[in-house]
């Protein structure tokens, strides 16, 4: 998979049979901020404390609280 967003800050990657791919990235978008988190395809991921912290911090960053 090609990822050609040169403005994105990739901060999590994943590996599969398709190679290394971005799993989480962020960027400023005009006056706002964007975070994309791709993990989370099942309830076990959403309930994991580390993922919950990651999601909460992403919301804080988007809200410019950190």
Q: CA 4, CA 64: separation in Å to the nearest integer?
A: 25
Supply the pLDDT for residue 2. Answer: 62
Name the phi and psi angles at 46, rounded to 5: -65, -30
Q: How confident is the model at residue 9 (pLDDT cuts 50, 70, 90)?
A: very high
Supply the pLDDT for residue 40. Answer: 80
Nearest Cα residue to 10 out of 32, 26, 21: 26
Give the residue extent of every domain in the chain.
9-62
pLDDT by residue (tens digit) across 21-66? 899 999 999 999 999 999 888 999 999 999 999 999 999 999 999 8
Q: CA 19, CA 8: separation in Å to the nearest integer?
A: 19
Supply the pLDDT for residue 4. Answer: 73
């Amino acid at each position: 998979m090609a990822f050609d967003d040169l403005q994105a800050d990739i901060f999590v990657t994943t590996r599969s049979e398709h190679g290394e791919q971005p799993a989480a990235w962020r960027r400023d978008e005009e006056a706002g901020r964007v975070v994309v988190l791709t993990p989370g395809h099942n309830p076990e991921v959403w309930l994991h404390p580390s993922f919950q912290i990651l999601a909460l911090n992403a919301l804080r960053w988007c809200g410019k609280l950190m």
